[in-house]
Chain A
Amino acid sequence: MLAHILALALKEFLALVRDPRSRLVLIGPPIAQLIVFGYAATFDLKDVPVAVYNEDPGATSRALIAHIQGSPHFRIVEAVDHEAAIAPLIDRKRVLLVLHVGPRFTARLARGESAPLQAILDGRNSNTAMLALNDLRSVVLAFNRELAARQGRRDAGAVLQTRAWYNEQLDSQWFIVPGIVGLLTLVVTLVVTALSVAREREQGTFDQLLVTPLRPVEILVGKAIPGVAIGALEGSVIIGLAVAWFGVPLRGELAALYLGLVLFLLSAVGVGLMISAIAVTQQQAVLGAFLFLVPAVILSGFATPIANMPEAVQWLTYLDPLRYFLIVVRAVFLEGADHTLLIHQYWPMALIGLVTLAAAGWLFRHRMY
């Protein structure tokens, strides 16, 4: 039994490593995706193009504009001198935001009144608009506080003191990069295992395998081992890069992370082998893997929170192994969690793995043509 499984696993490894196409699948996409996701998939605004329409000749408005200029989020690209010029700038996407300072801005502030400050935002991308507005609010708050200090007023009344736990600078990369550990190991493991049986079927070697004394369960385990091993290796490399290259802190128990990784890989291998057992050709296997991957990524909370989804869709996410692993990997990386806090993420992955592996084993036996 053990000798059979070892021989099979060794053969699978050799077949993978010696096939230039699979080597490509194992190396190319992960690197490209790590770079693209790591750098491009960010919600942090930087250098948002801003136009200023300043009708106020005073010094205070200039101070405000200096504040905005000094923020890393904004870059003033245009100055406007009449109202009618605003609309074309926004319409044509030359700027995302126009700041309109009224004519008596300095005067009103000098009198201790509040002075209106109009901001016009391009809402075509509502998320960007909202984030830009939040950033602008923070700049204005800081300006007001400084103004109060300069006018010798005490900063009275209720003030917000905001602190973010786990990710103090609210850096998107810290959120996205650990997520990539889950995303890429899923993609690689799924493609490797989904193709493994389909390729053998297409090349006729699966028949050759089935007429040997190997049992379906041995074939299943023999094919699962390389999937888990490659996934774990790939996962470790990305974990290493996340820490060393992207500088994401790894605060929790490494063992808790790896326990999650192994359970997650088991479920991914189960799904991959199931797809592989159903597919007749490699083409179908790739399409099947794609049809599983897209919803699995969308519904995992990788980029957008599960809590924002409609309730029915939220129920669907419970079937997605990536959902659980993303919580594990982010909790261990940023929240410094240990295994006791993650028990409710572990068992669903184990369950999904068991069910899909059993289904794949059943399909091996019952789908032989």
Chain B
Amino acid sequence: MSPPALRLEAVTKRFAAGDRVVTALDAVDIVVPAGGICGLIGPDGAGKTTLMRLAAGLLAPDTGRIDVLGLDPTAEPQAVQSAVGYMPQRFGLYEDLSVQENLDLYADLHGVPHSRRRQRYARLMRMTGLAPFTRRLAGRLSGGMKQKLGLACALVDPPRLLLLDEPTVGVDPVSRRELWSIVVQQVGEAGMTVLLSTAYLDEAERCDQVILIHEGRVLGQDAPEGFAREAAGRSFELEAPGVHARRLQSRLARLPGVLDASVIGDQVRIVTTPGFDPDPRDLLPQMHDLSIRAVPPRFEDAFILRLRGAVGASSPAPIGPIQVSADRDETVIRVRNLERRFGRFRAVKGVSFSVRRGEIFGLLGANGAGKTTTFRMLCGLLPPSGGELSVAGHDLRHARAQARARIGYMAQKFSLYSNLTVWQNLRFFAAAYGLRGARHRQRLRWALEGFELGAFRDVNAGVLPLGYKQRLAFAAALMHEPEILFLDEPTSGVDPLARREFWARINALAEAGVTALVTTHFMEEANYCDRLVIMADGEILAEGSPHEIRARARTPDHPRPSMEDAFIGLIQGRRQAA
């Protein structure tokens, strides 16, 4: 057996964040065998990027040893950097250079002889589908194309070890599949080793090896099937006709013996404690036609089990009562022919939809699909170029200040004051929403307790762990008990446990009559919505309930398509039409 491509022994790396020291990697031991794709999987803040940078010789470990292709990156960083290929997370393409000029630069830097270039370029362009765009500036490419160009630049001179830091983040499912096929092809052809980090758990199943990492610690390394085996015999799908899957999920999640419950299509998937055998009659006695079916375990099930083992069980605290008018048929958000242009670019092209009270409404699409632009127009943060919109009967851009007191907003990026403490942030937003006296005190206490932020009361918001930042932002948005919630990519980057906790809170709010408009690029989260629209290139491709949208992609060979299948079907259908 050939020596490993990368080996880390007891590597620890710490950073100073303000006056606190954050341990990014804590005594990490891993071995990446030569050849094949090794997935580095974990939520944001797990230490993936730090590990990549250590392997590329961009950082030096505090303690421990690293071996990259037989070289020590601490002692000879240049030798390592000449030997490996690396694509950083925000791939730094020169956006003011054309596709061809970017390729030329990397060919020059890697010393690719001119005689070999023509052939190599042609091959890379064919593989990435960028051939028609060689003269276009990189900045004018779509997100997916940029990532493919970045990958092409890293492959100009095929390295023995290729480090890819979250190459698929924010990319639409179609481009994601294409990126994967390029990587798989290269591994097969050039015999290189690829270390690829990702937050998408479904990508784990395409790897030869998976390293699970969480909060700087390695939770395990194995082949994906090896991980899944742990959950064997503990995964089930349940269905109760006539009962909303979301409601079923929230009831199942509270049962003893159920470690995890998530909505998958019209079914609810559960993972149980070992030896627990769910019986439809005992599980939820009041539901008569509950059907249970054992299913093969997935990688995500294993991940959840490992995480539960690492952080211990925690169930979200009750959200507390929010009273909203119960008229469920009232339309609270109405959008007609909404348009937005930036110069000559049409970011949103004539979008129409409406949302009823108490609905969870999803806006799905890849980065650049126009969902954030639509969202900002709804919140009154961006004037529309055309069309009409109303939120609770107002256009928030011109509405009086009181109208804004009825909505809550949580931005895509963490956007509270990072150098104020948790308490100072909450107090400020409570005041900004005009809460006073007893109500002010009561809501602040509610936020600290309901979101388990008490322990971090006097910590700067900027150095909170990601999951707590998300909780804080959510608490700030709910401070004034709004009727309508706008949540822009609320779960991006957080670990699956935090995601489940978040959706449990949203469910509870929706039950109480709060309307929520949520954007996401996680296709499987769409199943939590009552209704959703799928957007691409500023247009709505489909609108309906998750069930209806999935039904469109149903074919005889594929009777139970996932939301992602439906999305890809829609995009490809559109491309063929164009």
Query: Footprint of B on A, CB under 8 Å?
Result: 3-4, 6-8, 10-11, 14-15, 18-19, 203-205, 207-215, 368-369
Contacts and interface: CB of A to CB of B under 8 A. Distances in A.
A214 B415 contact: no
A18 B424 CA distance: 12
B253 interface: no
B401 interface: yes
A214 B415 CA distance: 17
Contacts of B376: 207, 369
Nearest to A206: B415
B432 A214 contact: yes
Interface in B414-432: 414-420, 424, 427-429, 431-432
A11 B476 CA distance: 15
B380 interface: yes
Given A207-B411, A211-B409, A213-B402, A4 B432 contact: yes
Contact of B424 (A3, A11, A211): A11
Contacts of A3: 431, 434, 436
B433 interface: yes
Nearest to A16: B419
B358 to A, nearest CB: 21
A208 B434 contact: no
A11 B404 contact: no
A4 B434 contact: yes
Contact of B407 (A11, A204, A211): A211
B409 A207 contact: yes
A50 B307 CA distance: 83
B381 A211 contact: yes
B420 A18 contact: yes
B379 interface: yes
Interface string B384-411: 0000000000001100011011010101
Interface string B434-462: 10100000000000000000000000100
B412, B415, B486, most chain A CB atoms within 10 A: B415
A353 B397 CA distance: 27
Contacts of A209: 432
30 contacts: A3-B431, A3-B436, A4-B434, A7-B432, A14-B420, A14-B424, A15-B417, A15-B419, A18-B460, A19-B419, A203-B418, A204-B415, A205-B416, A205-B417, A207-B379, A207-B381, A207-B411, A208-B411, A208-B416, A210-B380, A211-B380, A211-B404, A211-B409, A212-B405, A213-B401, A213-B432, A213-B433, A214-B432, A368-B382, A369-B381
Contacts of B350: none
Contacts of A18: 419-420, 460
* Shortest beta-carbon contacts, A-B, top 10: A204-B415, A7-B431, A213-B401, A212-B432, A211-B409, A213-B405, A18-B419, A11-B428, A19-B419, A204-B413
Given A204-B413, A214-B432, 6 more contacts: A3-B436, A11-B428, A14-B424, A203-B417, A211-B380, A368-B381
Contacts of B412: 204
Contacts of A204: 411-415
Contacts of A213: 401-402, 404-405, 432-434
A11 B428 CA distance: 7
B383 interface: yes
Given A3-B434, A4-B431, A213-B433, A208 B409 contact: yes
A211 B434 CA distance: 13
A118 to B, nearest CB: 63
A14 B427 CA distance: 12
Nearest to A214: B432
A282 to B, nearest CB: 14
B379 A211 contact: yes
Contacts of A205: 415-417
A10 B428 CA distance: 9
A19 B421 CA distance: 12
Contacts of B397: 368
A25 to B, nearest CB: 14
Interface string B484-514: 0010000000000000000000000000000
A215 B401 CA distance: 6
Contacts of B418: 203
A11 B381 contact: no
A4 B376 CA distance: 24
A22 to B, nearest CB: 9
A369 B397 CA distance: 12
A212 B409 CA distance: 9
A139 B287 CA distance: 112
Contacts of B379: 207, 211
Contacts of A207: 376, 379, 381, 409, 411, 415
A6 B476 CA distance: 19
Nearest to B405: A213
Contacts of B411: 204, 207-208
Nearest to B434: A213
A7 B431 CA distance: 6
Contacts of B424: 11, 14
B382 A11 contact: no
A367 to B, nearest CB: 10
Contacts of A14: 420, 424
A88 B371 CA distance: 76
A315 B446 CA distance: 60
Contact of B415 (A4, A203, A212, A368): A203
A89 to B, nearest CB: 54
Contacts of B433: 212-213
Contacts of B380: 210-211
Contacts of A6: 431
Nearest to B383: A368
Contacts of B460: 18
A116 B433 CA distance: 85
A8 B460 CA distance: 18
B417 A11 contact: yes
A369 B401 contact: no
A203 B382 CA distance: 17
Given A207-B379, A368-B382, A8 B419 contact: no
A3 B411 CA distance: 25
Contacts of A203: 413, 415, 417-418
Contacts of B429: 208, 212
Contacts of B416: 205, 208
A203 B418 CA distance: 9
